[in-house]
Amino acid sequence: MPRLFGTDGVRGVANGLVTAELALDLSVAAAHVLGDAGVFEGHRPRAVVGRDPRVSGEFLSAAVTAGLASAGVDVDDVGVLPTPAIAHLVAERQSDLGVMLSASHNPMPDNGIKFFARGGHKLPDDVEDAIERRLREQWDRPTGAAVGRVRHDAGGAGTYVRHLVSTLPNRLDGIRVVVDCAHGAASAVGPAALRSAGADVVVIGAEPDGLNINDGFGSTHLEPLRAAVVEHGADVGVAYDGDADRCLAVDSAGENVDGDQIMGILALALRARGVLAHDTLVTTVMSNLGLRLAMQDAGITCVQTAVGDRYVIEEMLRGEYSLGGEQSGHVLMLDHATTGDGILTSLHLLARLADSQTPLAELASAVPRLPQVMVNVTGVDKGRAGDDPAVRDAVAAAEADLAGTGRVLLRPSGTEPLVRVMVEATDAEAAQRVADALAGVVRDRLAL
């Protein structure tokens, strides 16, 4: 049976894989695992529970809250807030556990369950495995005053916004920004944080109705943002995903600025201020070669990890690094947050614009991008991607075809039922040709 937890919690179709029963059972099992590990020792346990605006989050958060309270955990239900806000509140309140109901950038019918440990960090793999093993076990239920209490708390948003703004090295006065909130969890707090920091803010994609999250807006659909930036004569546009743990940007001409370029801009800014820990940036194998070359020229070391922000965080904690992230826009600033935070990223990107008085296009030009092609192959058994001999042979042939002028990466998605084929080369046509050929082999060999 495949592992229930993926690279970012449990994710799938709400009321399909991710049911109310599963949400309740996972919460009970998490309480038991953490309790047996001594996390709750000597005090009454407390958890923070939040969600994005998906309609399914309403019943799933209720199920999570019921499960935790039935296991004797007091719950602060903070409602609709970004994933990084939940992580921050767990740390700020010294809570024992956090749970976020969100499928991030996935379509509205999906939902997910993400757990945070004390301090606001994601649970390590071994703790997730322990939770999965203890699903639906027999247990002695607390009664009377020992059951958990539930408190509906509307104060988390203000706490989170104040924290975000407090991290800035300078204000954003004079910067006009269009912010696309993906009709998601940042629809209120994203614009509020930018305005509080002094920016002139134009807002799009901030009318969540439970059904429209990520629908034509946000970091996976940049077209409305590009158009709005040009229409309003803005200096910059920023786009979050549904739970606002990632951020992408566009410059004043509407040209995309991806996560690699954002990380490069922030790394150079932090190094100039003398606060880039060990002069090191942590990236994944998906990051563009152009980023690594630019950092090398600037005297900044790049450390690579497997794909997934949890692996970036693990390496950052191990090496005591302060900045890392993914090309997708997950940027981790561990001096200020315990997880990727799209709003935090956008604030610091804009702070660099305001401080340097330099257009985003010019800042981004310091991080050139080699042509990179990504093909998502759906309808295949992603679990066999690394085992099929014909697929392995095709990867080897693709690498030989590029003859040292590029690279190939094939990997199963950790959050979606597909295999990603990435090809990077000095020539865009060659990258597309190799990617299409390799994707065809994957599709033929691994078809369901």
Active site residues: 104
Extract the runs of DSSP E, i.e. beta strands, from 81-143: 97-101, 110-117
Dihedrals phi, psi of 57, to nearest 5 degrees: -65, -20
Instruction: Give the integer Cα–Cα distance in Å for 43 and 114.
Output: 24
Exposed, middle or buried by CB within 10 Å (0-12, 13-18, 19+), for 383? exposed
CA 378 distance to own-chain centroid: 22
Would you state the torsion angle of the CA atoms of residues 429, 106, 115, 18, taken in this order, to the nearest 10 degrees? -130
Instruction: Give the integer Cα–Cα distance in Å for 300 and 311.
Output: 20
In the numeric block, which tokens belong to residue 33? Answer: 């695992």
- The three-class DSSP label of residue 354 is helix
Residue 176 bridge partners (DSSP): 200
Say if CB 189 and CB 343 are below 8 A apart: yes
Say if CB 376 and CB 129 are below 8 A apart: no
Residue 248 bridge partners (DSSP): 239
Instruction: Give the integer Cα–Cα distance in Å for 54 and 130.
Output: 28
Instruction: Give the integer Cα–Cα distance in Å for 20 and 372.
Output: 40
